Every structure is written in structure tokens, then in C-alpha cells.
Structure 1
Amino acid sequence: MRTLAKTRSEFYYFQSIMTRWMDNDVYGHVNNVVYYSWFDTVVNQFLIVNQALDIQAGPVIGLVVETQCSYFSSVSFPEAITVGLAVTHIGNSSVRYELAIFKNDQDYATAQGHFVHVYVDRNTRRPTPLPEPLRNILQTILG
């Protein structure tokens, strides 16, 4: 079954990113691992800016346990991209984020995917319920 590209209207938070020369690979387009870096950057930026996660000293941390990405067209330096973010599932200790990469002002994703965070106790690394402030901010982008 073919995956269809999502549109900007399916996302609730957006972050602009400028591609860098070093993002291109020898084939002249952004290497696939960079897309995962953009996903990780946008999720954590959203959580930090909204004071939902203290990456230095908070009692819980999010571990990525699953990732996926589908590619529809390539991105190359120097293009501006926008990453769209939405939450599609909030569990007791886990969250599924959906993300999409949009080139310039295009409405359809050039790539899209997801990743799942499991929140664990910083010291024991055992799953722990989502703190209420984190749960509350995630609900603002729940689709």
C-alpha cells in the first residue's frame, strides 16, 4: 500500500530550519539520516521551549524506541524547510509524534514519519508515567 504525502493542515506546530552545505551527500541531496535529526530537533525544541522537559536535571527523560520515515522528493542545500509536528497517541509513559518535512512553501510533505518516546526515570531508566505538565503540553498538538 502506497503512503500518501500529508499536508500542512495535518500538523499543529511548525519549526523552520535552513539546510546546511554539510547536509548534502555525494548524490547532491540531503542524506536520509539528516531527516531523523530534524525530527529529533523539532520534538525536543517544542518540549524545551514549552518548559515541558528539563533535559539537564529533570526527573524523567524521553528515549526514542521507534522511528520511521517515508520520502517523496529530495531536499538539497540551500533550501529552507519547515517541519510540522503533531502527537497522535499519548500513553501512560509513551508518546507517538508524527512529523513532516515541507520544502519552502509547499503544502505537501517531501518526507514524513514518526517516532515514539518512552519516558523513563532519569536514574533507573524504568518507564514512568508522563508528568502532568508534559502531558498537558502534548495535548495541545494532539491530532
Structure 2
Amino acid sequence: MPRAPALPRQAFAHFNSHQTRWNDNDQFGHLYNVVYFELFDNAMNNWLIERGMLDPNGPDPIPVVAEAGCSYLREVSYPDIVEIGMRITHMGRSSFKIGLGMFRQGEDQAAAQAEFTLVFVTPNGHKPCPPPDHYRAELEKLVVPEAG
């Protein structure tokens, strides 16, 4: 299967920064592969929390991860500061796909790319359901029109 090319910064709608830590590196001097997922998950969840979309004790539906994958394109290691870009790649009735790109600070091409599929579920019973309209409006802010 052909590998997806590294995406540029302009392919993403929102960014946040994260400092890597000494213990994130493995014996080969780059980030453990699970750390990439932790950084992507942290960036995504912070964005959702800041917009009121991830309150497991609240009355509204919450998004849960149904699938995740990552492509490692270039090494990242401590003490790199990474910038995580986010974009919505698909919106369904009760689910959405969020694309994430990890960039070393100041670089234009992603060092790693991930895609998470999230499904909104009811707070009690965790059954799939559509998100409230104000959630959908926030998610649509992460849609990046295709170039060209």
C-alpha cells in the first residue's frame, strides 16, 4: 500500500504546542511510538474539553475513540517542541474523523500523521447518537477546504 505523503501545515486548521520529555525517548534516541499517540490524544482531547465537548459527567453526548492509526514519517526526539495540527476529514451522523499532524517546531512538513475516528455516545448507556448542533458547529471549524 502506498504511503501517504507528509502533509504541509496549511492542511490543518488548528495547532497547539507540546514539549517532549526526556523519558519520551527510547534507546534509539527518538520518541517511543506510543508517545506519538499520547501527544495526538492530548491535543485532540484538550481541544474538545476547551469547547465543552468532553465532559464524561455531563448531560451531553461524549466522543469516544473507535479507531486510530498513525504514520511515522520522520524522527522526533527530546528536546523537540512539537506542534500538533488538527483537521476534520469526515463528518458522519454520529461520528467524525479527525486528522492530526505532528510538526517539529518551525518545520512545514509533518513528522507524523494520525487519524482518529470518534463516535458520539449517550452519557448513560454509551449508545451512538448524533452530536448537539453546537458541537457540530465547532467541529466544522476544523474542516480545511481542499486546495485547488
Aligned residue for 1:38, secondary structure, equals helix
Give the number of equivalent residue pairs: 143
Match of 2:107 in 1: 106
| TM-score, normalised via structure 1 length | 0.94
**CA deviation string 1:42-77 (max 9, x = no partner):** 111111112333343243121111111111111111
| Structure 2 residue 105 is the aligned partner of structure 1 residue 96 | no
1:90 shift after superposition: 1.1
Q: Is the 8 A contact 2:102 2:111 kept in 1?
A: yes
Paired amino acid for 2:79: P
How many Å apart are 1:24 and its aligned residue? Answer: 0.9
Aligned to 1:11: 12
Give deviations 1:74-118, integer Å, cap 9, x for gaps.
111111100000001111110100000001200000000100101
d(CA) in 2 for partners of 1:142, 1:58: 26
- TM-score under structure 2 length normalisation: 0.91
Please provide the CA RMSD for this pair: 1.2
CA gap of 1:102–1:9, structure 2 versus 1, over 3 A, is same
Which ranges of structure 1 fall in alignment gaps of 5 or more residues?
A: none
Counting aligned pairs with the same residue, the percent is 38
1:42 paired residue number: 43
Question: The residue matched to 2:41 in structure 1 has which SS?
Answer: helix
- Looking at structure 2, the residues matched to 13 and 77 of structure 1 have their Cα atoms a distance apart, in angstroms, of 23
Shift of 1:3: 1.7
Task: State the alpha-carbon separation in 2 of the partners of residues 121 and 58 from structure 1.
Answer: 8
Asked whether the 8 Å contact 2:53–2:62 carries over to 1, the reply is no
Stretches of 4+ aligned residues off by more than 3 angstroms: none
Where structure 2 has 5 or more consecutive residues not aligned to the other structure, the ranges are none
2: CA distance, partners of 1:137 / 1:128 = 17
